[in-house]
Structure 1
């Protein structure tokens, strides 16, 4: 009787598993390549649609509106960065102090 070498048996078992995995890996790579090609085609189609060639007048109008919008945003940001509500509160306190003589100290008393 022949004895089967345990190492040879293990190698045979794992070689069939390895072949199966290699085949599956190749199939997955092909599927991935197909999906990438389809995705790229979809991106090409969608990226071409929103762009519209503008004539000179339309481009000038669009650019001037964009500049106006940017200037408004810049002014809002500038005003918000320099405005301090504490200053407004202090100004109101000073006004109340000046208007109400009871709050004022008299140095003659």
Structure 2
């Protein structure tokens, strides 16, 4: 009977020690998470303060980003539009290089 009592005491001691270790482990995990968030914020930009966005702020930021990307895309599209004038000028340059005598005016 004494052995059972000793075993119960040992189990109680180890269970309390295990609970303390679990609490310390949770605290360490929380601190690691906080430090990871701080590291991510410091990597981005030192000028802008780091803050976690809520859902509405994130949606607004994303919609503004999409709008600016669409505007940039439209600008690039308008600059790359085909122009027949360029093709005519290129053909004239080609003809001039091919037969430079055509560009000289006859003297009267």
TM-score computed with the length of structure 2 as normaliser: 0.39
The one of the two structures with greater contact order (alpha-carbon pairs below 8 A, sep at least 6) is 2
